[in-house]
Chains A and B, each alone.
Chain A
Amino acid sequence: MTTSRPAEFGDEKLVTLAQKGQSEAFEVLVERYKQKAYRIAFDFTRDREEAKDLSQEAFLRAFTHLKGFDLRAGFYTWFYRILVNLCLDYRRRRGRIAWEPFDEKTHMDGGQSEMAGAISSPDREAMSGEISRRVGEALQALSAKQRTAFILKNHQGLSIHEIAKMMQSAEGTVKTHIHRAVTTLRQRLAELV
């Protein structure tokens, strides 16, 4: 007779067990989504410790309100709405977020690495820093909703449909936010590179 391990359970079963008080089931959900949650929080905060704190706070809130959660909605979508709202609250409290210069070890993809290889290291760092600063200023120029929709689409690769559910907006509204965000960023960043 085979017994299933909690790590093999689907989200719905884990939530049901957690609602009955089995926190080990919720810990499996944490392990399953912690990296995604962290990356979303990092996109908003640009700070590792803040991103960790925000994503953990989102998990704690989800655990606290789990009994009121309707399984039909899907844990993933419900949790990310909590996380995104926390991130938006964070931005409202913090105001402007200082944009840290790129760390060249984490930034480059293949094509850009080739380009960077042809330039001296100090110049490359200066250029990366300048790009990073300009990108930060450009993102700051967006409205909160434009920035949220853009980050969820551009950074996280979520579909328009998923973003609309998370932001509790119509899909047409989300498309408009993304369109305006992209055209603003293009105008502000066009002179780079």
Chain B
Amino acid sequence: MVHHNDSLREACKEFEEDLVLYYYGECGAAERGRVEKHLERCASCQQFLADLQRLLPLTIKPDEPPQLFWQSYSKEMQRKLAPREQKGPWWRNLAALLRPWPVSALATALVLILALTLTFGKRVWRTQDLPPEEEGVMEILPMAENLEFFKAMDLLDSLELLEAGAGLENGSA
């Protein structure tokens, strides 16, 4: 029996989507009642539903592979999963190193060591580097450098005075 497209009867537009849902059993109770009541008196919608029941199963092409296929499938999956699992222990070792509490404990310890080193280390190093008699020399040296500086400043002051004096003479002349 052949149906021609030109005689294809359209369902009522306001019921068409509901008929599709009704076919798939997706209607709520209220919608189901409404659709069934409408179907009792509408030949177009009855034909529409009959077409769905006739045609939609044709779109399914089932495939049932043999048991051997599934055995091979499982073995292939085990083989493909194996390289990803072997990476696991290496990851786990790395993850163990990066676990939160040892990291924070280690970081805290490092900060403390650094703080203690900076606080006490400079004095310890300096006293260790210089013998006591030379320590006095080290304290005097900066003073000597400052003295030279102040002498230079005095000279500069003198130069300024000389320049100022020269300027006055030129102005009066």
Give the B-binding residues of A (Cβ under 8 A). Answer: 21, 23, 26-27, 30-31, 34-35, 38-39, 42, 46, 48, 51-52, 56, 59-60, 63-64, 100, 102, 106-107, 109, 131-132, 135, 138-139, 153-155, 159-160, 175-176, 178-179, 182-183, 185-187, 189-193
What DSSP secondary structure best describes chain A's contact surface? helix
Interface status of B110 (Cβ within 8 A of chain A): no
Residue with the highest number of chain A CB atoms closer than 10 Å, among B5, B65, B77, B92: B77
Q: Give the Cβ gap from B70 to chain A, nearest Cβ, in Å.
A: 7
Do the beta carbons of B58 and A179 come within 8 Å of each other?
Answer: no
Interface size on B, residues (CB 8 A): 42
Do the beta carbons of A56 and B77 come within 8 Å of each other?
Answer: yes
Do the beta carbons of B54 and A193 come within 8 Å of each other?
Answer: yes
Interface residues in B53-74 by Cβ distance below 8 A to A read 54-65, 69-70, 73-74
Interface status of B8 (Cβ within 8 A of chain A): yes
Do the beta carbons of B74 and A189 come within 8 Å of each other?
Answer: no
Q: A27-B77, A59-B77, A187-B5 are in contact. Are A155 and B24 (CB under 8 A)?
A: no
Q: Which residues of chain A are within 8 angstroms of B8 by Cβ–Cβ distance?
A: 186-187, 190
Q: Which residues of chain B are within 8 angstroms of A26 by Cβ–Cβ distance?
A: 81
Contact of B20 among A52, A59, A139, A178 (CB under 8 A): A178
Taking CB as reference atom, which chain A residue is nearest B23? Answer: A182
Do the beta carbons of B56 and A185 come within 8 Å of each other?
Answer: yes
Q: Quick one: CB contact mask for B106-119 with A, threshold 8 Å, 1 for yes? A: 00000000000000
Q: A63-B84, A187-B8 are in contact. Are A106 and B62 (CB under 8 A)?
A: yes
Q: Which residues of chain A are within 8 angstroms of B56 by Cβ–Cβ distance?
A: 154, 182, 185
Do the beta carbons of B5 and A154 come within 8 Å of each other?
Answer: no
CB<8 Å pairs between A and B, sample of 6: A26-B81, A27-B74, A27-B78, A56-B73, A153-B24, A160-B21
Interface residues in B74-114 by Cβ distance below 8 A to A read 74, 76-78, 80-82, 84-85, 88, 92
A4→B83 CA distance, assembly (Å): 28
Do the beta carbons of A193 and B58 come within 8 Å of each other?
Answer: yes
Q: Which residues of chain A are within 8 angstroms of B16 by Cβ–Cβ distance?
A: 179, 183
Q: Which residues of chain B are within 8 angstroms of A183 by Cβ–Cβ distance?
A: 16, 20
